[in-house]
Amino acid sequence: MLPYLRRAVDQGTVRPGEASVVERLCETAAGTVPGRPEAPARLHGDLWSGNVLWGADGQVWLIDPAAHGGHRETDLAMLRLFGCPHLERVLDGYRERAPLADGWADRVGVHQLFPLLVHAVLFGRSYAEQALAAARAALAR
C-alpha cells in the first residue's frame, strides 16, 4: 500500500499531512492478518461488479481474473466497494459454503484500502478521501 500512498502524495491526490493515517494503519497491521488466521485462498483479484456476469439462465460467470493468493475477505470487500447486484444474496451463499470469521464486516475497509489507493493514483481525490476514511475507521477499532 505504501508505494501507492507515496504516488498519491507525490501527485497531490493525498495531502502530506493526511498520509500519516495510512502509514499508522500499515504499522499497526504489519504482520497481522485481519480476522482469524487461515491459509491463503485463491482470489479473483479484481472482483468488481463489471467482472461478474449474470446469465439469463441464472448462472454467474467471473471474468478477467488477476488471480493470486490472499485473504478471502478481500474479494468480498471488492464486491462491496464497487457495488455488486444481489450482494447480500452472494454473501449469504458464500457464508453457507465457507463461514466467515466474526467481525469480518468490520474489516471490509482494511481490505478495500489497497484498491482505493490504486484508484486514488489513477482517478483522483474522491478515492483518496475514501481511502483515508477507511484507514481512520480501521484505526478507531
pLDDT at 29: 75
Determine whether 107 is exposed, middle or buried from the number of CB atoms within 10 Å of its CB (0-12, 13-18, 19+).
buried
Distance, in Å, from the CA atom of 33 to the CA atom of 46, rounded to the nearest integer, reads 20
Per annotation, catalytic residue among 46, 64, 75, 106: 46
pLDDT at 92: 95
Distance, in Å, from the CA atom of 63 to the CA atom of 128, rounded to the nearest integer, reads 27
Extents of the domains making up the chain: 2-140
Would you say the pTM of this structure is higher than 0.85? yes
Active site residue 75: no
| Residue type at position 87 | L
**Res 94 pLDDT > 90:** yes
All three cell numbers of 75: 474479494
- Model pLDDT for residues 61-88, shown as the tens digit of each residue: 999 999 999 999 999 999 999 889 889 9
All three cell numbers of 22: 495510512
Contact 34, 40 (CB under 8 A): no
- Which backbone phi and psi does 69 adopt, to 5 degrees? -90, 140
Distance, in Å, from the CA atom of 112 to the CA atom of 26, rounded to the nearest integer, reads 13
Quick one: fold of 2-140?
Aminoglycoside 3'-phosphotransferase; Chain: A, domain 2 (3.90.1200)
